Amino acid sequence: MNAPTPEPPSHRSHDLFQRLIDGVAEPVIIKDDASRFVFINDAACDLLGKDRNQLIGRTDHDILPGEQADRIVSLDRVVLSTGEGHELEEQITTPDGTQRTLLTKKRCVSIPAGSTQEKLVVVTIVDITNLRRTEETLRASEEHYRSLVDLHPQVPWTADTAGEVLEVGPRWSELTGLGEKETLGSGWAKAVHPQDTEALQEEWRRCLASGAPFDCEYRLLTTTGDYRWFRARAAAKRDADGKIVRWYGVLEDIDERRRAADDLRESEARFRAIADDAPVMIWVADPTGDTSFFNRLWLETTGQTEAEALGFGWVDVIHPDDRQAVEETFFRATAGKDPVRSEYRLRRADGSWAWVIDVGQPRFSADGTFLGYVGSVLDITERRAAEIAQQEAQAFIRGIFDSSPDCVRVLDMEGRPLLMNEAGRRIFGLNEGAPVTGQTWDSIGRASDADKVEAAWESVRRGKTARFEISVRDAGGEERCMDVISAPITDHQGKPFRILSIWRDITDAKRASDEISRAQRHAEAAADQLSSVLESTMDSVMLLDADWRVRYLNENARKLLQVGDEALGRVFWELFPEEEEGSFAKHCREVMDRRVRSFFEDHLSSLGRWVEANASPTRDGISIFCRDITERRRAEEDTLLAQKQMAHMARHDMLTGLANRMFFRECFEEALNESNDARMAVLCLDLDGFKAVNDTLGHPAGDALLRQVSTRLIQSVGTAETVARLGGDEFAIIQPLTKSRDEAFRLAQRLIDTLSEPFSIEGAAATVGTSIGIAFAPEDGTSADELIKAADIALYSAKSSGRGTYKRFDVAMHAQLQAHQQTKIAMRDALAKGEFELHYQPLVSLESRCVSCCEALLRWRHPERGMIAPSEFIPIAEETGLIVPIGEWILGEACRQAARWPEHVSVAVNLSPVQFKHRNLVRAVAKALSTTRLDPARLQLEITETVLLDESEHNLELLQDLRSLGVKIAMDDFGTGYSSLGYLRSFPFDKIKVDQAFVRDLPHGKESLAIVKAVAGLGQSLGMTTTVEGVETEDQLAVVNSEGFNEVQGYLFSRPLPAAEISKLIAAGSL
């Protein structure tokens, strides 16, 4: 085997050298003595932006501008001729346009070449662009730092580890007048105040030894010749080993702060001295409310130490009954920065309690900053005791004042009334609190008494007592004779400043005296006078002797008792036998037997009147003064009745008079508390179809219906049951159970039967039904709310089962309700997430056997539950109102899909009753047609009979508006309701669809066959397209075809299909 031919040594060496210089990171260029490139590494090629092959053998003139190339070649020759190296720093522009700073180093190298030496220039280039930029940044930073140092009010300085100052800021010389050379080292100490030097240096030495931060305040001699306070601070800089390498510090002028602090201390000392000598307790609080000062009197009074009192310790010596109120008052004032004032009991050092008044004022600085409070506490124990004594004295005097049977008045010195006791107010008909200033003597007395009154008052003004008689008119206009005693009320100097006037009613005594005098002279005249007096009184006066015979009746008594002169001489109880055993007789006998006066109120049942009687014993029997107070008592009874009615209204429903929710709870708790083992049922029911009645006949009709329902409910339950209206059309019943739960089930069925009977509302018949939920106590709950909740859940289950039934609560129902709620929540997002889709069931023309229309049917493909049946979610969508946006989506999607079908194929969309009542229905249909550009005649809107509950103008107008768009209107499920024929008369439908219920038993069901024939004939006579739903067998198809129907729909032809599959079915042609 032949050995490989070795590579020539020169070639191998050249390749090795090239690889070596390519490994150098910096650009390297080797030139011969003609400045031609001999070697050049990759870095140099990158710098020059050329390939190595483009450079080898070339010179700088080939790649650089002439002047620059001349300068480089000239320097190459100097290096070759002198053999000395050169360095050159210059800026170049790279091929990509970037400015770079390069340091070029050139060296001369001689290489033996035979008998001669070949000289080469070795050029190495270092890119120092970043270095120069960094140096420029450092210079700018240094200049910036120097400017900050020069301008900063503090003086920076540095020192070595021995404490010798190395550098000091220029501000030092400005402050002290010492130059930098004098200052460095330890020369700075020349400016330190002699009294501060030793302590300063001792602290500096301590910090140097320990490495702790240096912080010291001392005085320096300034250029003004004065000493100022300065603060020097320094910290040690350490190396990686933790060894101190230098100290850095600053010197700060704090003279003004020190002087301010000294002034503040002096001010505080003066304040404390003044406060401690003050005769009141003084305190100071900061902005947070914490007290920061109490004077000596507080500490001596309470026995607290200053440490115990500061902060919030002061509240410990406040009486426990007052503490909370004081704290709330203080914190409320602090929050608003308002003055604070409170009175409370303060515990003294000896344990006794002192009443004090505490007043605090907020403090603010000149700039408005809230500084806290300063306050004072004054001992008012003696004043409080005096006030209490004064109040007790006033109460004592007032008691005497008001207990007097005489009219007692206090007048000013001019005779104007200031006060009047209760007896006086009764005489003159003044309520308590009514002003008495108008009750001057001249307004109630005779003008002829003026001189007598003025003379008496003048005597009182001189400090004497006066007595006189005057006549006045009382509240009833009756004149009374008053024996008046007037006496002066003196002030502390003994001078009269008020008039005390005591009026004793001597009218009766005066009259009695006159009567006695006249009786002595003229007995008959005296009798007439007495009769006149008794007749003039407003009271009814009766005189009965010891045998209860009537001896005298004044005119008012005759009117009250409804008797005449024939009653005189007769026994009172014979006149009014019903009263002999009553309370009135009892009071009268007590006066007769015990000879004591009696004042009482009683009802005379024989007269139907209430009287206020004042019975007094006489020498021959008793006298009875009565007043008819029937109207007053009726007013009181009316008030009581109104109160009872208000209590009733608070617990009963205003509309029906049934118990409301609050009274229902009370009845439940009462029934539950009657027995520990009480068993009962709670039935919750609401009305099926009530909203329809309310909407069609109006709210007054709805209210009338609720009242009739309430009446039937009351008639259907026993006396032990409680019926309540919880709100709207929701009712509840409490039924105590005596035997078994079957009692509740029987009651529920009875209620369903009762409420299913038609109601007559304003001449119109209305039919509603009810669904009932039942819960039992104590199994399903022990409170009214728990039972109502359980019964409500059962009610919901009953309504979901088809209405008109009842359900008993069980735990599974709660889970069903939760599932129902979860479906509601999921449905709210289903439309936005695109989970709904439409399937289409074809309607086949019996004439062509081709698809003539497709009915759009909604489907829900849930990401977790899969395909959900429409019967599960459509009712929920209608219940929540979500059917409106879903229905708008169905319209748009169905029209969009139909636009792709052949023109002879229409699309049918069902309208929900909720959609039909929505005001935007016409706009939604128009939008769907406009967006999809579908021919309106190809859209059929199917409306069920349940939508058309009555022939209202609204329904007809809405149908006309839809028809005006050009769409077709079809009546779906024809024959299942009661409004079909009426609407066919009022509105010309385009199509009627026979419900599949009439097709199931064809061809054998005679009734269904008759209905189908009738509908076919009706459609032909009215010119309407007729369609039959639910055709599943050939026999059913044959019957329908024979009767002349136009279209059929059912599983015989196709189930509902997705959009893609229905398109294929349509394209297939005849079925």
Q: Give DSSP secondary structure letters for 490-532.
A: E-TTS-EEEEEEEEEE-HHHHHHHHHHHHHHH-HHHHHHHHHH
What is the residue type of 791?
A: A
Q: Kindly state whether residues 411 and 369 are assigned to the same domain.
A: no
Helical (H) or strand (E) element with 823: helix 811-830
**Residue 304, token pair as written in the block:** 């607290």
Question: Which pLDDT value is given to residue 647?
Answer: 63
Residue that wins the pLDDT comparison between 396 and 492? 492
- Domain for residue 147, yes or no? no
Question: Which pLDDT value is given to residue 643?
Answer: 63
Around Cβ 831, how many Cβ atoms within 10 Å?
16
Q: Give DSSP secondary structure letters for 275-329.
A: HHHSSSEEEEE-TTS-EEEE-HHHHHHH---HHHHTBTGGGGGB-HHHHHHHHHH
Cα(193)–Cα(219) distance, rounded to whole angstroms?
A: 5
Question: Which pLDDT value is given to residue 264?
Answer: 67
pLDDT tier at 836, thresholds 50, 70, 90: very high
Q: Kindly state whether residues 730 and 782 are assigned to the same domain.
A: yes
**Is the CB of residue 819 less than 8 Å from the CB of residue 1038?**
no
**Residue 219, token pair as written in the block:** 């005085």
Q: Give the SS3 label for residue 973.
A: strand
Q: Give the SS3 label for residue 349.
A: coil
CA-based nearest residue to 471, from 448, 489, 437: 448
- Domain for residue 591, yes or no? no
For the stretch 961-990, pLDDT in tens is 999 999 999 988 776 544 455 556 667 788
Peptide bond into 778 cis (omega under 30): yes
Q: Of the ranges 172-176, 349-353, 681-685, which one carries the lowest mean pLDDT score?
A: 172-176
Q: Of the ranges 231-240, 411-420, 629-638, which one carries the lowest mean pLDDT score?
A: 629-638
Question: Which pLDDT value is given to residue 92?
Answer: 73
Q: Kindly state whether residues 912 and 763 are assigned to the same domain.
A: no
Residue that wins the pLDDT comparison between 158 and 441? 158
pLDDT tier at 844, thresholds 50, 70, 90: very high
- Domain for residue 569, yes or no? no
Q: Kindly state whether residues 329 and 442 are assigned to the same domain.
A: no
pLDDT at 333 over 70: yes
- Domain for residue 674, yes or no? yes
**Residue 891, token pair as written in the block:** 């319209």
Query: What average pLDDT is seen over the chain?
Result: 83
**Is the CB of residue 59 less than 8 Å from the CB of residue 66?**
no
Question: Which pLDDT value is given to residue 723?
Answer: 92
pLDDT tier at 522, thresholds 50, 70, 90: low
For the stretch 44-82, pLDDT in tens is 888 778 888 888 888 888 888 888 888 888 888 888 888
Range among 42-51, 137-146, 187-196 with highest mean pLDDT value: 187-196
Around Cβ 654, how many Cβ atoms within 10 Å?
8
pLDDT at 799 over 70: yes
Question: Which pLDDT value is given to residue 840?
Answer: 95
Mean pLDDT of 420-439: 79
Helical (H) or strand (E) element with 916: helix 913-917
Q: Of the ranges 263-272, 877-886, 1046-1055, which one carries the lowest mean pLDDT score?
A: 263-272
Tell me the Cα Rg of the chain.
59
Helical axes 784-800 vs 661-673, angle rounded to 10°:
110
Q: Kindly state whether residues 471 and 372 are assigned to the same domain.
A: no
Domain boundary among the residues 809, 838, 860 is at 809
Residue 990 belongs to what domain range? 823-1067
pLDDT tier at 438, thresholds 50, 70, 90: confident
Question: Which pLDDT value is given to residue 4?
Answer: 42
Cα(864)–Cα(476) distance, rounded to whole angstroms?
A: 91
**Is the CB of residue 969 less than 8 Å from the CB of residue 986?**
no
Domain boundary among the residues 482, 505, 528 is at 505
* Domains contained in the chain, number: 6
Question: Which pLDDT value is given to residue 929?
Answer: 93
pTM score of the predicted model: 0.36
**For the sheet containing 680-688, what is the strand order?**
722-727, 730-736, 680-688, 769-777, 806-808
Cα(489)–Cα(509) distance, rounded to whole angstroms?
A: 29
pLDDT at 403 over 90: no
Q: Kindly state whether residues 713 and 798 are assigned to the same domain.
A: yes
Mean pLDDT of 474-489: 84
pLDDT tier at 397, thresholds 50, 70, 90: low
Q: Kindly state whether residues 249 and 272 are assigned to the same domain.
A: no
- Domain for residue 716, yes or no? yes
**Residue 257, token pair as written in the block:** 């702060």
Q: Kindly state whether residues 763 and 860 are assigned to the same domain.
A: no
Mean pLDDT of 761-777: 87
pLDDT at 1017 over 70: yes
CATH code where residue 978 lies: 3.20.20.450
Domain boundary among the residues 480, 505, 530 is at 505
Q: Of the ranges 377-391, 682-696, 842-856, 953-967, which one carries the lowest mean pLDDT score?
A: 377-391
Q: Report how many helices (DSSP H) and strands (DSSP E) the chain contains, helices first.
A: 37, 42
pLDDT tier at 195, thresholds 50, 70, 90: very high
Mean pLDDT of 1060-1064: 91
pLDDT tier at 832, thresholds 50, 70, 90: confident
- Domain for residue 536, yes or no? no
> Locate tokens 């009553």: which residue?
582
Mean pLDDT of 489-508: 83
For the stretch 547-578, pLDDT in tens is 899 888 888 888 888 888 888 888 888 888 88
For the stretch 622-674, pLDDT in tens is 988 888 888 887 877 766 665 666 666 667 888 888 988 888 888 888 877 77
Question: Which pLDDT value is given to residue 446?
Answer: 82
- Domain for residue 611, yes or no? no
Query: What percentage of the chain carries pLDDT values higher than 70?
Result: 88
Q: Kindly state whether residues 787 and 851 are assigned to the same domain.
A: no
- Domain for residue 555, yes or no? no
Q: Kindly state whether residues 158 and 100 are assigned to the same domain.
A: no
CATH code where residue 341 lies: 3.30.450.20
Cα(400)–Cα(96) distance, rounded to whole angstroms?
A: 118
What is the residue type of 558?
A: R
CATH code where residue 797 lies: 3.30.70.270
pLDDT at 250 over 70: yes
Mean pLDDT of 993-1018: 79
Residue that wins the pLDDT comparison between 938 and 91? 938
Mean pLDDT of 698-726: 88
Question: Which pLDDT value is given to residue 904?
Answer: 92
pLDDT tier at 214, thresholds 50, 70, 90: very high
State the Cα angle at 479 between 478 and 480, rounded to 5°. Answer: 115
> Locate tokens 């209608």: which residue?
878
For the stretch 533-544, pLDDT in tens is 566 667 788 888
Question: Which pLDDT value is given to residue 39?
Answer: 85
pLDDT tier at 798, thresholds 50, 70, 90: confident
Cα(88)–Cα(258) distance, rounded to whole angstroms?
A: 61
CA-based nearest residue to 372, from 329, 346, 340: 340
For the stretch 252-276, pLDDT in tens is 888 888 887 777 677 666 767 666 7
Q: Kindly state whether residues 794 and 730 are assigned to the same domain.
A: yes
Query: What percentage of the chain carries pLDDT values higher than 90?
Result: 18
In this structure, what are the phi and psi dihedrals at residue 430, rounded to the nearest 5 degrees?
A: -105, 130
For the stretch 108-132, pLDDT in tens is 988 887 777 788 888 888 888 887 7
Q: Give DSSP secondary structure letters for 51-113.
A: -HHHHTT--GGGTS-HHHHHHHHHHHHHHHHH---EEEEEEEE-TTS-EEEEEEEEEEEEEEE
Cα(118)–Cα(829) distance, rounded to whole angstroms?
A: 89
Range among 483-497, 569-583, 1042-1056 with highest mean pLDDT value: 1042-1056
Q: Kindly state whether residues 982 and 886 are assigned to the same domain.
A: yes
